[in-house]
Amino acid sequence: MKILLTGGAGYIGSHTALVLLEAGYEVVALDNLVNSSAESVVRVDKLTGGSVQLVVGDLSDQGLVESALRDGVDAVIHFAGLKAVGESIAQPLRYFSNNVSGSLSLLRAMDATGVRTLAFSSSATVYGEVERLPITEDMPLCAANPYGRTKQQIEQILVDLAGSDDRWHIALLRYFNPVGAHRSGRIGEDPHGVPNNLMPFVAQVAVGRREKLVIYGTDYPTPDGTCIRDYVHVMDLARGHLAALEALPDWPGAHAWNLGTGRGASVWEVLRAFERAVGHDLAHQVGPRRPGDAPVSYADTSRAASDLSWSATHSLDDMCADHWRWQQDNPDGYPG
């Protein structure tokens, strides 16, 4: 089986490429490298002894995507997209164009070439503020920012597409908070600019690239006052894609699955766990809340467990230890 990974040079894409190669799949990565480096693919090859075919190009280049698909591709995992919430508020047209129009172009190419099996990178952000916990897949979707709305709109397009033609088999994979890195420390998350997310920020404080962590609010209605999230190890997430690909032949239509651990950790708990990994305290201060942050978010993962036979296995300490190994060995991310 040959799988096309759009955005395959990125953080989650590169870890998934590794897992797929190890499972015996052939992998083609199509990436415009807007937020990644070709070095990640080189390292996946070295780690696995396999070979990812990298196609440098844009999702919106339908001809290029069609020719990649015609080269024996059986299924697509669609990671490619822009993902910074603040940037999406400042540049909504860029986000809707890249994420939504780019996805439409990919879907036209898939339809034209008869490749109709797809796993899509969605996000827990599509749920917005929820009334009940844990979050189940049947809860209403109410994304609260342009980035999240691109995910919600793409999901809707995929549901309508699958409704029009039962040859489509589509997984809407709603990731919670992906963190960590491959155990080797050779591949990991390499955010460009100032990291928006908690763990990459803490990791950059630990390695000396940032002065201190600012904790966004300690007055939330949670046991220690800081927000709670469902952090999931990127290698567990990568295995989740393999599980989805293997299950999809039995699932005509479009189906949503949460990918998380089902357990929440607070900002304080993440900071303490990272300090354990590093072996000393990390500089931090308490700041005001970040607008738009939900107090608590964690997944009900029972649907993925029963339908995909997938569940996360790594602890928060594993996530921090692996994230730290990557950051320590690559303080400035990938070279170049």
Residues that bind ligand UD1 (CB under 6 A): 85, 123, 125, 147-148, 177, 196-198, 201, 213-216, 227, 229, 267, 290, 292-293
* Angstrom distance (rounded) from CA 189 to CA 180: 8
123: contact with ligand NAD by CB under 6 A: yes
**What residues form DSSP beta bridges with 4?**
28, 76
Closest distance between ligand UD1 and the C-beta of residue 214, in Å?
A: 6
144-183 binders of ligand NAD (CB under 6 A): 175, 178
Q: Give the count of beta carbons closer than 10 Å to the beta carbon of residue 302.
A: 14
What is the per-residue binding string for ligand NAD in 97-116, x denoting contact by CB under 6 A? -x---x--------------
H helix or E strand, kind and range, residue 26: strand 26-31
Query: Nearer Cβ to ligand UD1, position 201 or 310?
Result: 201
* Angstrom distance (rounded) from CA 14 to CA 39: 10
Is residue 143 within 8 A of residue 126, CB to CB? The reply is: yes
Output phi, psi for 58, to 5 deg. Answer: -100, 145
Radius of gyration of the chain (CA): 19
Query: Nearer Cβ to ligand NAD, position 32 or 258?
Result: 32
Residue whose Cβ sits closest to ligand NAD: 10
In the list 5, 10, 118, 232, the residue contacting ligand NAD (rule: CB under 6 A) is 10
Query: Nearer Cβ to ligand UD1, position 112 or 194?
Result: 194
In the list 33, 104, 144, 305, the residue contacting ligand NAD (rule: CB under 6 A) is 33
Residue among 207, 204, 229, 203 nearest 216 (CA)? 229
* Angstrom distance (rounded) from CA 125 to CA 248: 23
Q: Which residues are catalytic?
A: 147
Q: Ramachandran region of residue 136, left (φ > 0), alpha (ψ -120 to 50) or beta?
A: beta
Instruction: Please give the DSSP secondary-structure letter assigned to residue 263.
Output: -
What is the per-residue binding string for ligand NAD in 41-70, x denoting contact by CB under 6 A? -----------------xx-----------
Closest distance between ligand UD1 and the C-beta of residue 196, in Å?
A: 6
List interacting residues with ligand NAD (CB under 6 A).
Answer: 6-7, 9-13, 31-36, 58-59, 79-83, 98, 102, 121, 123, 175, 178
